[in-house]
Amino acid sequence: MLRALFLVVIALRQARARWWFIFSLAGSCAGLLCLLLSFYLFAVFRGVVRSQMIQIEHPLTCSVSYLALYDISPFLGALAGLAGGYGNAGIIQTILSIATGSLAATFMVWVILDPAIGLLEMLIPASAQHRHQRIEQAKAAQKKQQEDNEQLLNELLERELLNRQHWQKTLQPMAQKLTELMEKYNDGSKGTETHIVKIGAQAWRLGGIVCMRQLHEMVKNNQKNDSVVDCIAICWDGLGTWRLPALTESIIKVA
């Protein structure tokens, strides 16, 4: 970017442009800088991809000599520019020649030559066959991972279903007791909150938050009067990992 900016400024100064005019073109030059930056990022991306390349698929671009040429190409361009500008009068002309050579070599090798060679390597029969096998193996591994995840999910669902069936008999009397306590709580009876918390603690020790949610659902199914406030969600707040639902919390704040 600095080399490109230097070349633009020198070209404008040679055209007898004043400095105020050069500064006024700074906004327009931002587009050019973004273009050059995109080229540079593409080259960096190619370097990252090259580190993941396989020798059999890219025999030339993975070789040590080619990597050395790829890395020192900007410096070789700068040396070529220095040699081409040697003997010219003025330090500015020499620096201009060095910047031009380095920028041209970088663009030619990183943006044009390297992708073209990589494309030709992919057309080699051995490279194409190995790449096809590698892609098929990656797809098979991904499919196997997906099947394992689905199997694990099914096992978890089956385990949860078995747990719910196992808890059903144990939670049935607890749900009936909680239904009665809810009615007493809404009638203003004292001491019911303590019993509700004790039953919730038993459900937590039995199966954690999943068991508590199942018990809560059973109580809601047993509830005949829809006007009864869900005091279980209120009394169990902070018990284990149970948290007061946001809708119930907003209703309490309004009340």
pLDDT, tens digit, 9 for 90 and up, residues 142-187: 999 999 999 999 998 888 788 777 788 888 888 888 888 888 887 7
Q: What is the mean pLDDT of residues 58-87?
A: 85
Who wins on pLDDT, 195 or 35? 195
Q: Specify the pLDDT at position 1.
A: 67
- Confidence band (pLDDT; 50, 70, 90) for 252? very low
For residues 161-181, one letter each, b for 16 or more C-beta atoms within 10 angstroms of the residue's C-beta and e for the rest, the string is eebeeebeeebeebbeebbeb
Using an 8 Å Cβ cutoff, are 118 and 58 in contact?
A: yes
Type and span of the H or E element at 154? helix 125-186
d(CA 84, CA 88): 9
8 Å CB contact between 179 and 129: no
Assessment of whether the complete model's pTM goes beyond 0.75: no
**Is 51's pLDDT higher than 60?**
no
Q: How confident is the model at residue 254 (pLDDT cuts 50, 70, 90)?
A: very low
Q: Are 1 and 41 in contact (CB under 8 A)?
A: no
Phi, psi of 53, deg, nearest 5: -75, 160
Structure tokens belonging to residue 203: 């459900």
